[in-house]
Structure 1
Amino acid sequence: MGEAPEIQLQILAEDNKLDENAAERQTNGSMSQSTTIPRKRSYKWWLLMTVYTFFLLSGQSVATLLGRLYYDKGGNSKWLATLVQVAGFPILIPLYYLSSYKSANHSTTTSNSTTKPPSVLVLSGMYSGLGVLLAAACLLYSVGLLYLPVSTYSLICASQLAFNALFSFFLNSQKFTPFIINSLVLLTISSALLIFQNDSSGSTQVSRGKYVIGFVCTVAASAGYGLMLSLTQLCFQKILRKETFKVVLDMIIYQSLAATLIILAGLFASGEWEGLGKEMEGFKLGKSSYVNVLVWIAVGWQVFSIGAVGLILEASSLFSNVISTLGLPVVPVFAMVFFHDPMSGVKVISMLLAIWGFVSYVYQHYLDDRKSETGKV
């Protein structure tokens, strides 16, 4: 008679263990699903994605055009042009404290409260590594924008989607389908066509050698940025394991701080800082415009960063990059209007191929959506 209660207790213990294992598998599964297509598509999610998309596209367009304006009107410092891409992070500090306050008020109801937070050493290494990669990519982008017309530069940046897809395959278990492969091939051909285009009649009159240097630097920067996006997604999955706006700001602020320190060291080591006063004096639009251009470039890139990192958190690094590619037709058209960049036949073909590649990827995303919805029924 005494054995029956013991058997029942053993059965209950095994049932509880099975329930815990099932809950753990469900949690892990939800984390993996969040890297591709979000689980819940409520109106709040769509509103958040819309806001992040607007931030990404508007920040990218404004900062790129003002960066070209800085060079066209007398700016020459590659290190300063690089610095303003990352040094605007202090404007995010008020948002950071606001999100920290809200996070503290809801800390008792968060589902990740039992997750062990990463150590300070791990976080420092993560943000420092991403900061180094960000600084290198920004410097290469600055060199590319110096030697290329803004329309050519922006179209070459489409290659970052192909690089991001490649890194996502190895780092984020990104699956390739015929439509995604088609998208990557088209975007690669789109940017490769521009190596044969020399815009000597444009606003940026450079030699053939400098044009090639600008092309190579922009492609290398696109590869570095694509790698950084994939690593950012991997950090969200494996290290941070949280889905809050505060985590987005943490990622932006700390990696930007690391990148800013590196770029400042480069600015002083190169000696370019000595000529900044003379550069401001000779700026064609005046001293105040010189400062305003740099400030708004910094603001634009921080707005872009919020959108890009937010989309990585809500969807995936590849999805964030695809939305960035959506802005391809915008910058060249504005460049033609404001900077009188020529829109040659090669550029038109390149733009059409880039748009075709983007549409191909979006159609695959649509098919995935339909498949996930029918699978729930």
Structure 2
Amino acid sequence: MEIESQANNHEEEFNKQKTVQKIFLKRMILLMNCAILSIGNTGGPLLLRLYFIRGGKRVWLSCWLETGGWPIMLIPLLGSYIYRVRKSKEKAKLLFITPFLFVAGAVLGVLTGVDDYLYAYGVSKLPVSTSALIISTQLVFTAGFAFLLVKQKFTSYTINAIVLLTVAAVVLGVRASSDRPNGESKMEYFTGFFMTLGASALYGFVLPMVELTYKKSKTKISYTLVIEMQMVMSLFATAFCTIGMLINKDFQAIPREAKAYELGEAKYYTVLVSNAIVWQFFFLGAIGVIFSASSLLSGIMIAVLLPLTESLAVVFYHEKFSSEKGIALALSLWGFVSYFYGEYKQTKQLQQSIIESKTNTVVNASSPT
């Protein structure tokens, strides 16, 4: 009996260590994806705006750049394949994506392409600080669609955050034209405003749809599969934008635009390539966070990086920081703090309930029958 008890204790300890390792690995993947998302979410809008303020005028080209760097995903996929081959010492599976996930990725990719166009048009007309604040409303749309599609549960803190972000967007829209760039009409400005808001709503729908796709899939979702899914989405988004470029004759205009670019021809192509690379960080990070946590957290991370994007736009591009933006930013930060405080309290309550449950189990086990 003693040997059997020791064996059980050893097995229990082994299982605990295995569980701890899995939790640690999942957290590390989450942190890595948060870092990747941070790079893309701050660098992407700044580089895209740099293209426009220095003489770039092609909206279809700029939206193509948001997903046109998808071949970069082949690098981590190749690394994953080599690792699997060396680990198993057998012929490893080349791809994990199933027909269902491929079709879903294609549909979501086209929607992402539409979203890219809406966002690129908005950025071409608005200062980065303004477009970033509008994009913060994405959290509201993500939360709403997450509730409808994946039955996301909300706390009072989450609802408070959503309300505050909505009010922030309204405050920004009341006197939004006060920071209208020189030479731009009110119609152009407000068209950019609402196009950016539309991009926010559409991507707020895409994120929960990715999570729903994972849940509906009958295959095990690995991080390699997440990269494959992102590559398919980017491929079809790029195909959609390529059609727009062909119709608008953007390919023929690139050499002419490069010669007239304020920073010079070489830097023009550097800006284009940098855009393509950095935006891949954004998309991979976004769906990586969904894989590690949820679509709601992905939306929150995108919104949380708003103050950093705001600050960098003011520093690098000397954009005006009006009182309306200040109020909207304060409300946004208040909303973020509210959400994270709610998550902190919920986690503490969950930990406390687990401890109490374990204590009661021990007490019951030690009580005489």
Query: Is TM more than 0.5 here?
Result: yes
User: Following the alignment from structure 1 to structure 2, what is the Cα–Cα distance between the partners of residues 77 and 91?
Assistant: 23
Q: Does 1:77 align with 2:55?
A: no
Deviations 1:232-262 (A, max 9, x none): 0011111164342201211110110111111
Aligned-partner SS, 2:247: helix
Match of 2:76 among 87, 95, 98: 95
Match of 1:345 in 2: 323
Match of 1:361 in 2: 339
User: Following the alignment from structure 1 to structure 2, what is the Cα–Cα distance between the partners of residues 79 and 202?
Assistant: 22
- Structure 1 gaps, min length 5: 1-37
Q: Does 1:328 align with 2:306?
A: yes
Match of 2:362 in 1: none
Give the aligned residue type for 2:40. Answer: G
Whether contact under 8 Å (2:105, 2:230) holds in the other structure is: no
- Structure 2 gaps, min length 5: 1-18, 356-369
Displacement of 1:205 in angstroms is 4.4
Whether contact under 8 Å (2:171, 2:324) holds in the other structure is: yes
Q: CA 1:235 to 1:77, structure 2 compared with 1: closer, same or farther past 3 Å?
A: same
Q: Any residues of structure 2 matched to 1:173-212 within 5 Å, and which? A: 173-198=151-176, 203=181, 205-212=183-190
Q: CA 1:179 to 1:198, structure 2 compared with 1: closer, same or farther past 3 Å?
A: closer
Aligned-partner SS, 1:85: helix
Match of 1:248 in 2: 226
Aligned-partner SS, 1:136: helix
Q: Relative to structure 2, which stretch is displaced further, 240-249 or 96-105?
A: 96-105
Whether contact under 8 Å (2:177, 2:190) holds in the other structure is: no
Displacement of 1:191 in angstroms is 1.5
Whether contact under 8 Å (1:149, 1:199) holds in the other structure is: no
User: Following the alignment from structure 1 to structure 2, what is the Cα–Cα distance between the partners of residues 306 and 213?
Assistant: 29
Aligned-partner SS, 1:333: helix
Displacement of 1:322 in angstroms is 0.5
Aligned residues, how many? Answer: 332
Structure 2-normalised TM-score? Answer: 0.85
Q: Any residues of structure 2 matched to 1:156-167 within 5 Å, and which? A: 156-167=134-145
Match of 2:27 in 1: 46
Q: Relative to structure 2, which stretch is displaced further, 217-226 or 195-204?
A: 195-204
User: Following the alignment from structure 1 to structure 2, what is the Cα–Cα distance between the partners of residues 41 and 207?
Assistant: 55
User: Following the alignment from structure 2 to structure 1, what is the Cα–Cα distance between the partners of residues 349 and 151?
Assistant: 19
Deviations 1:309-344 (A, max 9, x none): 111001000001111111110111111111111011
Give the aligned residue type for 2:54. Answer: K
**Matched residues, percent identical?**
33
Whether contact under 8 Å (2:139, 2:162) holds in the other structure is: yes
User: Following the alignment from structure 1 to structure 2, what is the Cα–Cα distance between the partners of residues 95 and 118?
Assistant: 15
Match of 1:225 in 2: 203
Give the aligned residue type for 1:85. Answer: E
Displacement of 1:217 in angstroms is 0.5
Q: Does 1:145 align with 2:123?
A: yes
Q: Any residues of structure 2 matched to 1:268-283 within 5 Å, and which? A: 268-283=246-261
Whether contact under 8 Å (1:198, 1:208) holds in the other structure is: no
Whether contact under 8 Å (2:36, 2:281) holds in the other structure is: yes
Structure 1-normalised TM-score? Answer: 0.83
User: Following the alignment from structure 1 to structure 2, what is the Cα–Cα distance between the partners of residues 345 and 264?
Assistant: 40
Whether contact under 8 Å (2:161, 2:334) holds in the other structure is: yes
